[in-house]
Amino acid sequence: MSVLECGRMGCERVMCDRLILNDSRYICRDCWEELKSLKETWEPNLSRQAVERLIREFMDSVRSYGENGSTEDNFAGLTGNRWEYEV
């Protein structure tokens, strides 16, 4: 069985089922939701190249499980049970 690891830098999630960037990288549910939220801040008429660049920049950014994470992520990270809350 292969591991479908999230392609975002610093993300430790595995068994991701969404492929992005022409099926070249997996993204987990949490990173996908964060990317969709970030997209809401982008200009409304970006070219395909610009959108790809922004997605790649996001995927190259380091995922933080710290101060700004969800209560579940912070609790799990501090108690060593990070994956307990994944559905």
Token pair 């997209």: residue: 39
Closest by CA position to 10, among listed 52, 69, 54, 53: 69
pLDDT at position 74, please? 63
pLDDT at position 58, please? 95
Contacts of 63 (CB under 8 A, 6+ apart): 8, 9, 10, 11, 31
Closest by CA position to 4, among listed 36, 35, 23, 27: 27
Q: Is the separation of the CB atoms in 2 and 16 below 8 Å?
A: no
> Taking the CA of residue 45 as centre, how many other CA atoms within 13 Å lie in the half-sphere pointing to its CB?
0
pLDDT at position 86, please? 47
pLDDT at position 6, please? 94
The segments of the chain whose pLDDT lies below 70 read 1-3, 65-87
pLDDT at position 22, please? 92
